[in-house]
Structure 1
Amino acid sequence: MATDKKDIIRQKMLESQKEARIVRKIVLTIFILLVLFIVIIGGGGYLYIKSALNPIDPNSKIQKKVDIPIGSSVTGIGETLESHGIIKNAKVFKYYVKLKNEGGFMAGVYELSPAMDIPEIVSRLKTGKVLAQAAVKMTIPEGKQLKEIAAIMAKETKQKEADVLKQLNDEAFVKGFMAKYPNMLTNEILNSQVKYPLEGYLYPATYSFYKKNPSVEEMVNVMLEKTQDVLSNYSEERTAKKLSNHQLLTMASLIEEEATVKADRKMISSVFYNRIKKGMPLQTDPTVLYAQGKHKQKVYYKDLEVNSPYNTYKHKGLPPGPIANAGKISIEAALEPEKSDYYYFLAAADGTIIFTKTLAEHNNEKAKHISNKK
C-alpha cells in the first residue's frame, strides 16, 4: 500500500511539473508575441509618422491655391491642407506643430505643392508668403490701450471709432469670444471693476486681412488667436508662478507702460514683485493715468487722488486688469523677474531707469533727475 501511495504522489508531481512546463511555454510564447507586436506597431507607427512628415509626392510639379482663413486653428489648418492633398495626415501636422512649439501662422491664399514637406509648409505659413496681397494690413504697436486699438481698427477699415469701441465692449460680443477661448478669457475679465474686458488681450503685431472690409469680429478673433498662441508658450512658467493669464497680462502691461527703450524690464518686474511681497502699494503712475483716461507727460500729486480701483497709489496689489497690451519681452519679464532688493525706480530724461532700495535714495535721485514730476 505504501508503495502505491508513493507511486501516486510521484505521478502527481510529474503531472504538476509537466503542467508547469506547459504554462511556462505558454507565458513565454505570449510574451514573445507581445514584444513582437509592440515592435511591429511601434516601428510601423514611427515609419508612418516619418512618412507623413515627408512630401506626398517629391516629384510633383502641381501648385495648389490653399486659403487659410483668419482665425484658423492648427487643427483647422491641418485639415485644410489634408483636404487639398498637400499633406498626408492632419493629426501628424498638428502634433508636429505642437512638438516644435510653432505658431504665428498667417492667414491668406497660399500656393502650396504636394512636393513640400511639413517643415517647409510650416515655414511658409509663418512667413506669410501668400499669393494674394493683403487688402488691409494693420499694425498694433506694443503698449497700446483698447481705445487706441479701436481707433487703429476704425481707421484701417473706414469705420467709426465709437462704433468699434462700443462693439469691443459689448457683453454678448465679449462672451462669444469667452466661449471660443475659455482657458484665456475667463470670468476675471467680467469683474465689475475692470474698465474694458478685452484690454490687454489684443496682441501687438502686424495683421493682414484679405478682404477690403474685415469685420470687428474677424479682426479681434485673429488678435486673440495670436495672444493665445503666445501665452501657450509660457503655461508651465505661469502655473509655477501661480498666476492666471489675466494676472500675467496685467503685470506685463504695467511693465510695458513703465519701460523705456533703455529699460531693464526684468528689473522693473522685480521691483513690482518686491513691493507686493512686502505689502507695499505698487505706486506706478501709468495706472493713475489709465484711471483718468488721459495721456500726460507729468503726473502731479492731485492726480494721485483719483478714486479708482486702478489707482495703485491707493490700492495694494495688481489693478483689476491690464492697462494696455504687452509684447513678448514684457510677458517674459513678468514671469522671470530679476532677483534684486530694489523697491523704487524712476526714469531719467535720457530714458535710463534708476533703481534704488530706499525711499530716501529714491527721493534723492528724483530731485536730481525729475525735480518737478509731482
Structure 2
Amino acid sequence: MSADEKNAKKEIIRQKMIEHQSEARVVRKIVLLITVTIIVLAGVIGGGSYLYVKSALKPVDPESKETREVTIPIGSSVTGIANELEKSGVIKNARIFKYYVKFNNESGFMAGDYKMTPAMTIPEIIKSLKTGKVVQRAKFKMAVPEGKQLSEIAAIVAKATGQTEEDVFAKLNDAEFIKGLMAKYPDLLTKDILDKKVKHPLEGYLYPATYPIYKDNPTVDELVVDMLNKTKSVLAPYNETMAEKKLTPHQLLTMASLIEEEATEKADRHKISSVFYNRIETGMPLQTDPTVLYALGKHKHRVLYKDLEVESPYNTYKYAGLPPGPIANAGKMSIEAALNPDETKYYYFLASKDGEVHFSKTLQEHNRLKAKYITNNK
C-alpha cells in the first residue's frame, strides 16, 4: 500500500471517530435531557401532591363565621364521619381526613349533633368529636358498669330501647346478628367467639361506659355498635403490645374479665394478673370462683365445695388454662393488668372482709392466711 493510500485510510478512520464522538455527545445530551425532564416531572408531581395534601389539611375558610350543624350517627365509622364532615363543608377532603386520623391513631369519636364552622382546623374538629361537644343535650344516658355479664347488659339495653330483656338477650345471641357484627369488626370479633364451648359470643365485648343517647327510641343494633366501637377504640392503643405478647383480643378480654371479677376496690390487679399467668405457665388450674359461678349461671356470695364439681369448660377448678371466653365485661384497669402483670412468684390470693387482697407463694402460706382472714372471721 502506497503512502497516499495509508494517509487516506487514516483520514477515513479519523473522520469516523469524529462522527462517533459527535453522535456520543448528542446521545449524552438526549439522555441528560430525558433525565432532567423525569426529575422535573417527579418534582412537579411530588410537589403538587404535597401542596394538595397540605391544602386539604387547612380550614375550608379561615375567615368564616358561619355555623354548621353536623350529625354523627351512632356507630359511624371514620369513613362515615369523614364523608359527613365533607358533605357539611367542614373539611375539604374526606379521604385526607381519614388518612390523617389513621396516621395519628385518633379514636374514641362520639356520636351526636355538632356545631362546627368551616374555619375549624382538623385538630380542632377531632378534639370536638372526641369530647362530644354537641348542639343538643342527650335524651338520656345508658350506664353499663364494669363486671357485668351479657344477661345483665341485655336488661340495661332493654330499658334503653323499650324492649323486653328476653328479646334483647335473644338478639345478642342471634347467629345472623353475630355474623353481621363479625363482618363489621373482623379484627375484634374473630372466629374465637363462635367456639362451641363459648356460652355467649358477645360476652365481654360490650365495653363498660356511660353512653349518651340522642334519640328517644334507639335500636339494639345502634347501641351494640356503639359499645363495640368503644371496645375497639379502648383496645387500639394496645395492639402493638398484644402482638408482642401474642395475645388475641379474645384472650386479652378473657383474662381481663377474670381479673375484673376477682378484684376489689383495694385489689392490686397487676398482682392478681401475675397469679393467673404464673399458674398458666406451670400448668396449674386457675381455680377462680367467678368462673364456677358463671358455669352455674348463678350469683352467690359463697362458692360451696359441691359447686366446684359443676361440669363445664368454664370451671377453672377442673380445666387448666383460660376458660373458653370472657365471663363478664372488663374496664381499662383490668385490661391493662391483663397486658402487664407484675413479676411475682405468687400462686395464691384471697380477699379479706375489708376488701384487702392477700397474696402468697405456697399453699401452706395461703391456708394460714385463709384461716386468719376467712375461716376464723365467719
1:93 is matched with 97
TM-score, reference length from structure 2: 0.91
Report the Cα offset of residue 13 of structure 1: 5.2
- Taking the TM superposition and a 5 Å limit, the aligned residue runs for 1:128-277 are 128-277=132-281
CA contact (8 A) 2:160 2:218 kept: no
- Taking the TM superposition and a 5 Å limit, the aligned residue runs for 1:1-374 are 14-371=18-375
Measured in 2, the distance between the counterparts of 1:31 and 1:354 equals: 74
SS of equivalent residue, structure 1 residue 234: helix
Measured in 1, the distance between the counterparts of 2:210 and 2:51 equals: 39
CA RMSD for the aligned pairs?
A: 2.3
Superposed CA deviations along residues 283-315 of structure 1, whole A, max 9, x for unmatched, are 111111111112222222222111111011100
Whose Rg is larger?
2
CA contact (8 A) 2:114 2:133 kept: yes
SS of equivalent residue, structure 2 residue 64: coil
Superposed CA deviations along residues 219-248 of structure 1, whole A, max 9, x for unmatched, are 111111222222233222222222222112
Measured in 1, the distance between the counterparts of 2:32 and 2:311 equals: 78
Unaligned runs of 5+ in 2: none
Report the Cα offset of residue 83 of structure 1: 0.8
- CA 1:373–1:325 in structure 2 vs 1: closer, same or farther (change >3 Å)? farther
Percentage of pairs with the same residue: 66
SS of equivalent residue, structure 1 residue 166: helix
- CA 1:170–1:7 in structure 2 vs 1: closer, same or farther (change >3 Å)? same
Measured in 2, the distance between the counterparts of 1:244 and 1:295 equals: 29
Measured in 1, the distance between the counterparts of 2:86 and 2:100 equals: 14
Q: Which has the larger displacement, 330-339 or 214-223? A: 330-339
Superposed CA deviations along residues 147-206 of structure 1, whole A, max 9, x for unmatched, are 111111122333221221111112122122122222221222121211111101101111
CA contact (8 A) 1:299 1:373 kept: no
Unaligned runs of 5+ in 1: none
- CA 1:349–1:37 in structure 2 vs 1: closer, same or farther (change >3 Å)? farther
**Number of aligned positions between the proteins:** 374
Measured in 2, the distance between the counterparts of 1:150 and 1:356 equals: 38
Q: Which has the larger displacement, 95-104 or 279-288? A: 95-104
CA contact (8 A) 1:300 1:373 kept: no
* AA at the equivalent of 1:316: A
* AA at the equivalent of 1:151: A
